[in-house]
Structure 1
Amino acid sequence: MLEVRDLVAGYGLTRVLEGVSLQVGAGEIVAVLGSNGAGKTTLNMAVSGLVRPRAGEVRFEGANITGRSPAEIMGLGLIQVPEGRKIFPNLTVRENLELGSYRRAKANRARNLERVFLTFPRLKERVAQAAGTLSGGEQQMLAIGRGMMAEPKLLILDEPSLGLSPLLVEEMFGLIRRLHSEGLAIMLVEQNVAQSLDIADRAYVLENGGFALSGPAAQVREDPELKRAYLGL
């Protein structure tokens, strides 16, 4: 579904990504792992049209989307749930969710709203509540639910476990597994290496703007360098 070829991107005079290439196939969970500052969010933003690549190519379902606007890319079904949730705190839960279908799937808004409430019963209980008053875990559910309202073909999750308690992290990874079981392709961008590798089909490890390691998740998990650098083994 998604193919990134030799992507170079950055900000101003700073180059962050140095020719990275990756693929996400239909129905896969692909994990992009790395520490803070490795370039994970820059990769997401370049794929989503928020940062214009300096070189390379991004293709989605066979079409070249390099340089297209974020609205165009989102309209194709490539949906990003950004790091830090980026909900609208002064709007209600319902209003936040409805904004997820502003550009795409507006005609199916009522049906998709019910689907989100089935997935996240807690959001239905808080439908009229201001989003800023939700707990961190509930805000993350809201951000993912807003992404689901656009009927994604590929969902990019940027650090969905960030700032959550260990119990909520377990719940969040269980949710990602459930979304995947329904056939949704997911690109999971995370610092949480161990749990991401448990649910991913394939993985890429980003270091200093390039992929230091990639392959099937089980193979990446057993790599001695990854165990030393990320798992403390």
Structure 2
Amino acid sequence: MSAARSPEGAHAAAEGAPVGALLDIRGLCGGYGRVQVLRGVDLQVHAGEMVALLGSNGAGKTTLNKTVCGLCRAWSGTIRFDGKDLSGAHYRAVVKAGLIQVPEGRKVFPDLSVRENLELGSFTRAHERRAANIEKMFHLFPRLRECMAQRAGTMSGGEQQMLAIARGLMAEPVLLILDEPSLGLAPRLVQEMFALIRTLRDGGLAVLLVEQNVGQSLEIADRACVLENGSMRFSGTPEALLGSDMLRRAYLGL
């Protein structure tokens, strides 16, 4: 696929981004060693907004997440979050600012109990409200209350994903990044996962949803962005993306 942006794609990439964004990424470049992955990425997420970041494997989605969260160093560009410049910030500073990521693959602590995993979620933020927030998580995820003493490594994939999201919520995020939350889940659990994400959005939480499940993501997103070969090819409403035959074929394979 050509790396050149089409006139329609270029026009679309300029539309739909809110003014005064909570997360404001401009001209972000980065990668690993001498291998460049991100090529001048612009991305904005507004308070209370859900943005779906779409793209195939290798598009640069996970690298973008890691760079925003301070796990990979940006080569150039700026990352502003909630009025603060987080360009080059340590990941602890990113967490303290309220930008929380639920990583791809769940990454629960397998030898710790469900409750201990939740407690670690408030290690850096909101530790003084830990007990109250655990009760909130048990209300949101009743299954976690039932198995609070169980080792996380013995849980099913769907249960581990619930735990990973609950652990992220324990930090009282201002913006939550969900990286492939439906990956590896059975179809029924995928439906439940997206229903949960919709609940978080309806509660006013800003969410950056990184997914390959295009249909489900576009149903609940306020805006959609498409990343291809480390460059942002589209940013706009889900309706605009789905309404363009060229964009659907080129970037979504639909």
Tell me whether the two structures share a fold, i.e. TM-score over 0.5: yes
Instruction: Give the Å deviation of 1:222.
Output: 1.9
TM-score of the aligned structures, taking structure 2 as reference length: 0.90
Instruction: Give the Å deviation of 1:230.
Output: 6.0
SS at match of 1:197: helix
Q: Which structure 2 residues correspond to residues 89-100 of structure 1 after superposition, within 5 A?
A: 89-100=110-121
Q: Which letter does structure 1 place at the counterpart of 2:59?
A: A
What corresponds to 2:249 in structure 1?
Answer: 228
What corresponds to 1:83 in structure 2?
Answer: 104
SS at match of 1:124: helix
Does residue 176 in structure 1 map to residue 177 in structure 2? no
What corresponds to 1:195 in structure 2?
Answer: 216
Instruction: Give the Å deviation of 1:218.
Output: 1.6
Structure 1: give runs of 5+ residues left out of the alignment.
none
Does residue 66 in structure 1 map to residue 87 in structure 2? yes
Q: Deviations over 1:110-144 (max 9, x none)?
A: 11101110110001000000001111010000000
> Contact conserved, 1:9 with 1:17, CA < 8 A, in 2?
yes
1:44 to 59, 65, 83: 65
1:30 to 42, 47, 51: 51
Q: Which structure 2 residues correspond to residues 108-147 of structure 1 after superposition, within 5 A?
A: 108-147=129-168
Does residue 216 in structure 1 map to residue 237 in structure 2? yes
Q: State the alpha-carbon separation in 1 of the partners of residues 91 and 152 from structure 2.
A: 24
Instruction: Give the Å deviation of 1:101.
Output: 0.3
Q: State the alpha-carbon separation in 1 of the partners of residues 202 and 149 from structure 2.
A: 30
TM-score of the aligned structures, taking structure 1 as reference length: 0.98
SS at match of 1:54: strand
Percentage identity across paired residues of the two chains: 63
> Contact conserved, 2:228 with 2:251, CA < 8 A, in 1?
no
Q: Deviations over 1:4-37 (max 9, x none)?
A: 0000010001000000001000000001001111
What corresponds to 2:4 in structure 1?
Answer: none
Identify if the C-alpha distance between structure 1 residues 93 and 206 changes in structure 2 by more than 3 Å, giving closer, same or farther: same
> Contact conserved, 1:193 with 1:230, CA < 8 A, in 2?
no
> Contact conserved, 1:88 with 1:132, CA < 8 A, in 2?
yes
Q: State the alpha-carbon separation in 1 of the partners of residues 79 and 251 from structure 2.
A: 29
Q: Deviations over 1:89-116 (max 9, x none)?
A: 1100000010000011000001110111
